[in-house]
Amino acid sequence: MSQQSNSPPAQKPSLGRVVHFYSTTSPGSSELEPSAATIAAVLDDTGRVNLSRVLWSGETQPQPDVPFSPEPKAGCWSWPPRV
């Protein structure tokens, strides 16, 4: 799942923070769907983290070695938008 991010996040990720993990809605699709995820480990200064992703069913799924992307991108995490 390792994809390169363009730049490290401006805000440093830390253990326990809630972020969005983006995946495609179905295989071969380019439509992205965000999932809530919690940072389980910070791997380096570029923003690579291990996540615990929350599925729509409420179950969790590990997502190891996930890169940061400032814009929604499949297989990456980003900060949730401010509302």
Q: What is the mean pLDDT of each run of 10 residues along the chain (83 residues)?
A: 63 96 90 96 96 95 97 96 87
CA 48, CA 1: separation in Å to the nearest integer?
11
CA distances (Å), origin 74, targets 30, 83 = 8, 22
Quote the pLDDT of residue 23: 94
Closest by CA position to 40, among listed 26, 52, 53: 52
pLDDT for the residue 6: 59
pLDDT at 33 (0 to 100):
93
Whole-number pLDDT of residue 28: 87
Domain boundaries, the chain: 18-78
Res 2: pLDDT? 46
- SS3 state at 25: coil
Burial class of residue 4 (count of CB atoms within 10 Å of its CB; 0-12, 13-18, 19+): exposed
- Full-model pTM: 0.85
